[in-house]
Amino acid sequence: AQSVTQLDSQVPVFEEAPVELRCNYSSSVSVYLFWYVQYPNQGLQLLLKYLSGSTLVKGINGFEAEFNKSQTSFHLRKPSVHISDTAEYFCAVSDRNNNDMRFGAGTRLTVKP
Amino acid sequence: GAVVSQHPSRVICKSGTSVKIECRSLDFQATTMFWYRQFPKQSLMLMATSNEGSKATYEQGVEKDKFLINHASLTLSTLTVTSAHPEDSSFYICSATTATNYGYTFGSGTRLTVV
């Protein structure tokens, strides 16, 4: 089975600063990779996903992530964050049968003015 | 885009009673639906996977007689928490997927409080 490790439980940054949220995965098979955002008391919203092709994936709200197979990583980045980006971010991995999606523990991004 | 509606968003029930949570895919047919539980400041823990017309597959440690899952149609799955206890209080989230929609679409979640 696959697993996901999010290396930072909390990331505080100032508004307009760049941010990187780290994600590493482990799997014995080829996988799909995802980043989701969760606002308080809400479900998860898909930010972006990597299925195949270009390793640099662009998502909504100005976020992007890069798939690095050799380092088994899928770090999420944004060049300039806003207060409204404050939320919980989850990295997830699923097998290529689209089953058995596993989530990381989450990273709490707090953007300060 | 794909939308999943989850209802109710919040429910408070007395200990010993049962609560039903609905998860509907509004604009697509969900071949597979998933139920997750999320404790405060923690990640989502998969409880069970259900395919339309089949019995749900429960994760290890999840009591299938306590958490009844029904996936009777391609657009509706229900989770019933039977004989609820305060320790069942949590945030429950459903998600749905199809064979061609890589990734899951999530419902907005249900905050269950058992008093």
B33-69 residue pLDDT tens: 999 999 887 888 989 999 888 889 999 999 999 999 9
Percentage of residues in chain A having pLDDT higher than 70: 97
B44 interfacial to chain A (CB closer than 8 Å): yes
Pick from A59, A64, A111: nearest CA to A85 = A111
Distance from CA of A30 to the nearest CA of B (A): 14
Band of pLDDT at residue B99, cut at 50, 70 and 90: low
Residue B16 bridge partners (DSSP): none
A72-105 residue pLDDT tens: 999 999 999 999 999 999 999 987 765 678 899 9
Inspect the interface and report whether the beta carbons of A98 and B105 lie closer than 8 Å.
no
Nearest to B111 among A41, A98, A102 (CB): A41
More reliable by pLDDT, B107 or A1: B107
Distance CA B89, CA B12 (A): 9
A77 interfacial to chain B (CB closer than 8 Å): no
Distance CA B107, CA B94 (A): 5
A interface test, pick of B44, B46, B59, B98 with most A CB neighbours within 10 Å: B44
B22: chain A residues, CB-CB within 8 Å: none
Average pLDDT over residues B66-91: 94
Strand B19-25 and strand B76-81: the pairing is: antiparallel
Inspect the interface and report whether the beta carbons of B6 and A43 lie closer than 8 Å.
yes
Distance from CA of B96 to the nearest CA of A (A): 11
Mean pLDDT of the residues in chain B: 90
In the prediction, which pLDDT does B101 show? 61
A34: chain B residues, CB-CB within 8 Å: 103
Band of pLDDT at residue B97, cut at 50, 70 and 90: confident
In the prediction, which pLDDT does A87 show? 96
